[in-house]
Amino acid sequence: MFAERRAAAADLETVQELFRAAGAPYLRSFWSWLAWALVLPAAAGAAALAACGSSAPSASAPASSSAPASSSAPASSSSTPKASPSASVSAAAASVGLKTTKVGSTTVLTNSKGFTLYSFAPDTPAKSNCNGTCAQNWPPVTGPVTAAGVSGTFGTIKRADRSVQATFDGHPLYTFVGDTAPGQAKGNGLNAAGGLWHEITTSGTAAPAPAGGSSPGSGGGGYGY
């Protein structure tokens, strides 16, 4: 190591002698050269160290974890299901109900206002044969219906106009425009619109026709058509 240093010093002295021999201006150039020879390597080393320091990964502060989004409260599973519109309509219609009343010695079904209900002989349990003018004089009872304390089967059928008509024990139900007050049964026993009309008894059987039953065009308040 000392030998290398002595060799470097000898080389430096040789360079210095060359500049000295060249004159004072060149000697100053020697010192400038020496300064640059010593400063530049040191500056280069410092720059290299700085570069290494800047390339080292900086320990960045950990990103703050965002607070978890507040979870919405789960919908209550015990909520009461809403009734469908059709079910509501049916319940409303059934809640009106029918009534019973005495006409003479017979207990008959009436609508909620007390007007007697009738059956039409040509009807079947699944079909009404009273349409058009007939239905204007004998308005069908809209179903479904029920009656408290009455034993029998209430049902419905679809009419030709797609409306729903109430039935009792297989008889489509009607009122009669000739009855102008509750408790009347002017339509009972009439032969009109192609068939006989009977008031509906709570037993579901046809009531007996009154004596001297009307025929088409003969009485019944002018409703024999």
| DSSP codes joined into one string, 35-100 | HHHHHHHHHHHHHHHHHHHHHSPP-PPPPPPPPPPPPPPPPPTTPPPPPPHHHHHHHHHHHH--EE
Domain membership flag for residue 54: no
Q: What is the domain count for the chain?
A: 2
- What share of residues in the chain are helix, strand, coil (percent, to 5)? 30, 20, 50
Residue 41 and residue 115 share a domain: no
Question: What are 21-46's pLDDT values in tens digits?
Answer: 666 555 566 556 555 556 545 555 55
Q: What are the structure tokens assigned to 148, written together? A: 């408290």
User: Does the pLDDT at position 186 exceed 60?
Assistant: yes
Report the distance separating Cα 215 and Cα 177, nearest Å.
17
Q: What is the pLDDT of residue 183?
A: 93
Residue 167 has pLDDT above 70, yes or no: yes
Secondary structure of residue 87 in the 3-state scheme: helix
Q: What is the distance between the alpha carbons of residues 86 and 222, in angstroms, rounded to a whole number? A: 39
Same-domain pairing of 41 and 113: no
Residue-range definition of the domain harbouring residue 33: 2-48
